[in-house]
Amino acid sequence: MEPHLAEPMRARTVEPSELAEPTPGVDPAAADAAERRRLSGPAMRTFLNVAERWQLNEAQRLRLLGLPGRSTYYGWADRARRRAQLSLGLDVLLRISALLGVHRALRINFPSERDALAWLSAPNQGQLFGGQRPIDLLTSGTQDGLLAVRRYLDAWRSGQLAGPNAADALPPLADDDIIYA
C-alpha cells in the first residue's frame, strides 16, 4: 500500500509511565499551601529590602506585587517584619522571584548599585523598552513586564545583547567577489 494511502492512525490510551517528565517551570510544590507559607515571610522581607534600595514608592510596590489592596500589602509587610505566619499566593511569589532575578542580574551586570539604579531609571532605547525606563516596564503591573526585564538582563549578562563590534564588521562584497561556477 502506498504510504500516503495508509489507514489513518487510531487514537490510543497513553499510560502515565509513557509521559515525558514535565518541562521545568513552576515547581508544583510551590503551589502547596505549606510550601507557600514557608517561602512567604522570607520572600516578602527580601522584596521590602529591594524595594527600599530601589526607592520604590507605594504605587510601584503594589504594581510589582500584582495590585493587592493597600491594606493587604501593609498586612503582608507587617506580618513579614514580625516573622508572623504569612501565606502569599503563587502569583505574588512568582512576581517576587522575578524581581529578585532582576536584582541579581543588575548586581552582576553593573559595577555598582548606583549604576544599576541609574540604568533602571533612565530612558532606554533598546527594542524592549522603546524609550521608556526599565523601572516603568517592571512596575507596569504585569508578570510579563517583570519577566521581560529579567530575560533582557539575563541575555545581556550572557552576551546575547552585545552590539556589533569590530570583530563583526565585514567589508561589503564587490562584484569581483562573486564567482559563478
**Residue-wise pLDDT tens digits, 102-155:** 999 999 999 899 999 999 999 998 888 989 999 999 999 999 999 999 999 998
Domain ranges of the chain: 32-160
Distance CA 24, CA 84 (A): 32
Q: Which of 76-80, 141-145, 166-170 ranks highest by mean pLDDT? A: 76-80
Q: Give the model's confidence band at 160: pLDDT under 50 very low, under 70 low, under 90 confident, else very high.
A: confident
Q: Model-level pTM greater than 0.75?
A: no
State residue 45's pLDDT score. 97
pLDDT of 22 strictly over 90: no
Task: Describe the crossing of helices 113-121 and 90-109 by its angle, rounded to 10 degrees.
Answer: 120
Q: Give the model's confidence band at 94: pLDDT under 50 very low, under 70 low, under 90 confident, else very high.
A: very high
Please give the single-letter amino acid code of residue 128: L
Q: Give the model's confidence band at 168: pLDDT under 50 very low, under 70 low, under 90 confident, else very high.
A: low
DSSP 3-state assignment of 119? helix
| Averaged confidence pLDDT in the chain | 84
* Cell numbers linked to 52: 527600599
